[in-house]
Amino acid sequence: DPAEFSERLVCNYASGQSSASNVQSLAASAMTWCTSVGGQVPKHDLVGKLSKLGAAGKHPQNAERDLQRAIKKYGKCVGVRISSASVRMYDPSTSEIYTTALPILDPVSWATAVWKEGQDVFESIFLGNAGREGARRFWLNAKENCSWFKDDTIPPEDFSGLLPLNLYGDDVQAFRNSEPGAVSIVGWGCDLSYENDAMLQTFLTAVYSEYCACGHTYNDILEHLLPMLQHMADPAAGHPWQAAGFRFIFAGVRGDLKWLNEKYKIHHYQRISDEFCSRCKASKKADDIRWTMFDFRPTSLHRTVGRISSEQYMDSKALEELPLPMLFGVDISRFVHDTVLNGSVLTYLAESGEFCNFPTGIYESALGTTLRAAYARFKVWLREEHLQATQPRFTPSRLNRKHRGMFPCLASKAINGKRVSFWLASRCVARVERLGGACTELDKLVTTTIWSYCALLRHFDQCSVVMTQAEAQLMHRDGMLHLLSYANLRKRSAATKGRTLNRTCWSVLPKHHHLQHALDDALTTLINPGTYHLLAAESFVGAIGRMSRTCHRSTVAFRTIQRYLTVMRLRLTKQAEALRHAAQHGP
């Protein structure tokens, strides 16, 4: 089918799987084959147009420019306005900071383009599976239980169409092991669409080379972007979706802990005590252990008397020191990020001989042999459970464990880390059941730690965005069981030395402390922390990174946006077709 073939060519280019010159070459080959078998190509056929890119291949450097013109002419991209922001960037060749115009995808124009696809498409993207009733429950609960919304004056009759906006950002390596290859991605999304596909949860706003960024770049982008989001949430702006009862509200910021610290200057996790956590007075070291992040007990002082409200935080800072989103009404508790588990469980099982007898000799070589056996067992488990994962092989380098004095931390991203955690939990439970009376207290404690962590992940997945009181209490119980048992394991590990099992494991990270905040918030607000788990966001960032791989860093901002709009044209079309088919024939 020529239409399907041309769409495949354009999609492969936009997603970073093919270059523009390769698109021209494939289209030209298709044209040659068609002619050789006596076929005729219509005058305005897209494949024929693609075969002529770059003067029919004579000037391949112009192929991408010509391809973008063809994509726009044939309606293969979303019609979203691309504005520009005056931002300060860094020139590596001269070591100077200069001002340039950075392309910005207008969020208002993007939402308008989605609205033009149909109200059903708009609702499916921004309201998710729960629809208007889910939005109404979310805001009624927020009005009753969330300090950041209790005093808002929005009338309850508007809750069913009120859409909570969030601002998201992250870095990604477009090219491996290359400093110029890192790009920073800024996007936005709606909290209620957390069950959607990754590309329909978060929407691109800006992308720029991290190598060419300076300390002012991100704030310059925010100064241009935040007024756009404010205008998007203005009930008197006359947006087309407002007539149907929809309205946006800027309600949160997302990103990993490193991003929040670097871009917003909060949660200084690398500090020892001063502002280690922006939401409480916890520290890494203190004379009284109850003030440290290692104390997860209900009696810890940073939990009972050391919490800091958003108002207290704002009062303690000068205006220019505050994160810009806070000046637009975002509460400090709404700067949310992901939580992860490190690789200590895998190390413990490997050293205890769960996968094979731990060899003698050099530790790194012995661990590598054991990890190869572990990875083979992991792949077998995936096949048995009918699951897929792209987790790379387990190696001492990826585990950050080349000798017994190094804390393990398994390198895994997005859904892969989740798959590994559930596999480890199944191995630990099977080990305890198999050993029976020969099982040690350490075996039981490790099993409790990983089982409670996976139970927490199940709560994240199975609970809706607004939980019942019973669901919140159960989630809090399992989450705190994980943290307390984890801290117990760290205490046991600190007492070991030499070649003893469990040496230098279970490093308590700042993310564990912030997980405690998330669990306490869930118990109060009844909002599921799993809705801002960044698994889908990492998939989105990975997709944008692949789009930017073949772009030069001087043009990466504009070319990546062009490719993104092409990919989203296909996504929106498929979403609309699926909704219309479900309406006619049922889900």
CA dist 461 → 103, 252, 457, 517 (Å): 36, 21, 6, 19
Nearest partner of 518 among 457, 476, 463, judged by Cα: 476
- Binned at pLDDT 50, 70 and 90, residue 57 comes out as low
Report pLDDT for 452.
95
Q: Where are the domains of the chain?
A: 2-73, 82-255+534-585, 267-322, 344-532
Q: Residue 77 is encoded by which pair of tokens?
A: 């991209």
Q: Residue 74 is encoded by which pair of tokens?
A: 């044939």
- Binned at pLDDT 50, 70 and 90, residue 264 comes out as very high
Average pLDDT over residues 214-224: 95
Name the burial class of residue 37, with classes exposed (0-12), middle (13-18) and buried (19+) by CB atoms within 10 angstroms of its CB. exposed
Residues 6+ apart with CB under 8 A from 521: 333, 527, 529
Nearest partner of 26 among 12, 45, 40, judged by Cα: 12
CA dist 413 → 94, 195, 341 (Å): 36, 19, 11
Q: Residue 113 is encoded by which pair of tokens?
A: 């383009």
Nearest partner of 142 among 278, 249, 256, judged by Cα: 249
**Can you give the three-state secondary structure of 382-425, one letter per residue?**
HHHCCCCCCCCCCCCCCCCCCCCCCCCCCCCCCHHHHHHHHHHH
Q: Bridge-partner residues for 186, per DSSP?
A: 169, 206
The Cβ of residue 36 has, within 10 Å, a number of other Cβ atoms equal to 8
Of 7-21, 115-129, 307-321, 566-580, the poorest mean pLDDT is in: 7-21
Residues 6+ apart with CB under 8 A from 185: 169, 170, 171, 172, 204, 206, 207, 541, 544, 545
Average pLDDT over residues 386-401: 91
Taking 60 as the threshold, does the pLDDT of residue 176 lie above it? no
CA–CA gap between residue 272 and residue 292 (Å, rounded): 10
The number of helix segments (H) and strand segments (E) in the chain equals: 21, 7
- pLDDT digit string (tens) for 480-512? 999 999 999 999 999 999 889 999 999 998 889
Report pLDDT for 75.
57
Residue 507: phi, psi to the nearest 5? -70, 125
- Binned at pLDDT 50, 70 and 90, residue 178 comes out as low
- pLDDT digit string (tens) for 342-377? 579 999 999 999 999 999 999 999 999 999 999 999
Nearest partner of 513 among 293, 200, 227, judged by Cα: 293
Residue 81: phi, psi to the nearest 5? -70, 130
CA–CA gap between residue 166 and residue 176 (Å, rounded): 29
CA–CA gap between residue 362 and residue 298 (Å, rounded): 43
Helix (H) or strand (E) holding 433, with range, is helix 415-435
CA–CA gap between residue 566 and residue 562 (Å, rounded): 7
Average pLDDT over residues 54-61: 69
Instruction: Give me the sign of the Cα torsion angle 495, 500, 502, 508.
Output: positive
